[in-house]
Amino acid sequence: MKTGRQTFNKWQLPLTLVLFLSGLLLVMALRSLAASDSNPTRLQNDNLVNLIKTQEREIAGIQADISARRNLINNSRLTSASGKQALVSLQSQIQQLDIVAGYTEAKGPGLLISLDDNRKDAEAAQARNPAQFKPDDFLIHDRNLLYVVNDLRAAGAEAISVNDQRVVASTEFRCAGNTILVNTTRLAPPYIIRAIGNQNSLTRTLDLPESEFNILKMSGFPVSVESSPALLLPAYKGSYQFSFATPKAGS
């Protein structure tokens, strides 16, 4: 029995040592294998994560840039639309001022008025009493035209012409023999006045007892008035010249 126990002790120690060393080598080999298998994958994963994060940052920057550019475009559109509206408004104002100044043709509803010399009564008066006959009493004078035009202006006429001469702020009415000068142009009867404006207002003014048109009518002059839905007035053919008047500074 003693001999058997000694024999067991002799082979047990080397076997244990061999098994320990084998296990140690196995563990080291497994760790080495695990390390060699996991490191490339982990590195690839890290690189992929970093790449994704970089792309996300780039995408966020691009989205922010797109948003900023969209805002700029929208602001530009709003500014452009506002500018276009302002331009349209200015153009409309200029067109209206051109009509007032007479620089452009004008069209619209209004009245067509005719004034003529009283030839019939003139012939009768001359035949009845040649010594006291006064031809001027039966003629349309510059003041008659001027008074009718002023009545129409007071009634709100927006554009007026006399025998295709546009009446503007500088228009003069002057007698020149048997004719009348309007805008330095000689006019002969009958005098056709075109006035664009509210027809009812213009008609009421001409019907007033004190209006020049009514006075001429009551005096026997062959005058007439009719409404027209579409009158066309020519543009002023002259020019405005200012020797002393200048625009006020800052206006």
Q: Answer yes or no: are the C-beta atoms of 113 and 192 closer than 8 Å.
A: yes
Q: Note whether residue 242 is domain-resident.
A: no
Same domain flag for 18 and 66: yes
Q: Note whether residue 238 is domain-resident.
A: no
Task: Determine the structural domain holding residue 16 and report its residue range.
Answer: 1-101
Same domain flag for 227 and 177: yes
Same domain flag for 56 and 157: no
Same domain flag for 126 and 9: no
Which of these three, 101, 133, 158, is where a domain ends? 101
Helix (H, G, I), strand (E, B) or coil at 70: helix
Q: Is 0.75 surpassed by the pTM of this model?
A: no
Q: Answer yes or no: are the C-beta atoms of 195 and 111 closer than 8 Å.
A: yes
Give the C-alpha distances (Å, rounded to integers) separating 20 from 23, 24, 198. Answer: 5, 6, 122
Number of domains present in the structure of the chain: 2
**Domain containing residue 115: CATH number:** 3.30.70.1880
Same domain flag for 94 and 119: no
Q: Which stretches within the chain are classed as H helix?
A: 2-101, 119-128, 142-154, 199-207, 212-218
Cα(250)–Cα(244) distance, integer angstroms: 18
Q: Note whether residue 4 is domain-resident.
A: yes
Q: Answer yes or no: are the C-beta atoms of 102 and 204 closer than 8 Å.
A: no
pLDDT (tens, 9 = 90+) of the chain, 251 residues, equals: 444 444 445 555 555 665 666 666 666 665 665 555 555 555 556 665 676 677 667 667 766 776 777 777 777 777 777 777 777 777 777 777 777 778 889 999 999 999 999 999 999 999 999 999 999 999 999 999 999 999 999 999 999 999 999 999 889 999 887 889 999 899 999 999 999 999 999 999 999 999 999 999 999 999 999 999 999 999 998 877 777 777 776 65
Q: Note whether residue 60 is domain-resident.
A: yes
136: left (phi over 0), alpha (psi -120 to 50) or beta: alpha
